[in-house]
């Protein structure tokens, strides 16, 4: 699949394109060691005055990001747009850790589960790397994002 369009991160159009890529890789990625449901509250969004409410869900062979919150989430993570972009598109775990240590990320719920689930992400699996590259290719970064 050749992706020619770019979409602003976390817009409905980006979510649709990311969903299509994840569907293409379904069953080809390493399986999550522990399923997790995490609500996200993304603040300081450059294209909106409102926070974005999204969620991610891991299940065997998948990693889904969708708009809206889940009722029965394991945790809720509140973070800024730039950190969300760095962690989820640029696969920069260090940016996430620095943001958490400096208090720019707030976690309510099962922190231990989050560490278990996300600690193993971004490994050396070639399919994970390929999908990450393709997500970066479809992502337009707003000019006001560092």
Q: Is 101 a domain residue? A: yes
Q: How many CB atoms lie within 10 A of CB 124?
A: 7
- CATH assignment of the domain containing 57: 3.30.1050.10
The whole-number pLDDT of residue 62 equals 63
* Number of domains, the chain: 1
Q: Is 145 a domain residue? A: no
Q: Is 21 a domain residue? A: yes
C-beta separation of 64 from 21 below 8 A: no
119 pLDDT exceeds 90? no
Rg (CA), the chain: 14
Q: Is 63 helix (H, G, I), strand (E, B) or coil?
A: strand
Average pLDDT, the chain: 84
Pick the range with the lowest mean pLDDT from 32-46, 89-103, 121-135. 121-135
Q: Is 122 a domain residue? A: yes
pLDDT, tens digit, 9 for 90 and up, residues 86-103: 988 887 888 888 998 999
Q: Is 78 a domain residue? A: yes
The whole-number pLDDT of residue 22 equals 85
- How far apart CA 81 and CA 27 sit, in angstroms, is 29
- How far apart CA 4 and CA 14 sit, in angstroms, is 13
Q: Is 1 a domain residue? A: no
Q: What is the DSSP letter of 146?
A: -
Q: Which domain holds residue 111?
A: 7-139
C-beta separation of 55 from 70 below 8 A: yes
23 pLDDT exceeds 90? no
User: What is the mean predicted confidence (pLDDT) over 71-90?
Assistant: 92
Q: Is 119 a domain residue? A: yes
29 pLDDT exceeds 50? yes
Q: Is 129 a domain residue? A: yes
- How far apart CA 41 and CA 23 sit, in angstroms, is 24
The whole-number pLDDT of residue 134 equals 92
pLDDT band at 128 (very low <50, low <70, confident <90, very high): confident
C-alpha 82: how far from its chain's center? 12
């Amino acid at each position: 699949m050749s992706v020619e369009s770019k979409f602003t991160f976390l817009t409905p159009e980006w979510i649709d394109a990311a969903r299509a890529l994840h569907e293409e890789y379904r069953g080809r990625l390493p399986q999550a060691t522990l399923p997790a449901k995490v609500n996200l509250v993304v603040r300081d969004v450059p294209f909106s005055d409102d926070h974005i409410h999204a969620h991610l869900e891991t299940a065997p062979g998948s990693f889904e990001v969708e708009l809206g919150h889940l009722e029965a989430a394991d945790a809720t993570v509140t973070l800024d747009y730039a950190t969300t972009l760095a962690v989820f598109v640029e696969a920069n775990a260090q940016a996430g850790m620095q943001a958490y240590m400096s208090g720019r990320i707030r976690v309510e719920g099962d922190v231990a589960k989050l560490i278990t689930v996300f600690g193993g992400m971004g490994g050396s699996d070639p399919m994970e790397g390929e999908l990450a590259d393709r997500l970066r290719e479809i992502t337009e970064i707003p000019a006001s994002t560092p």
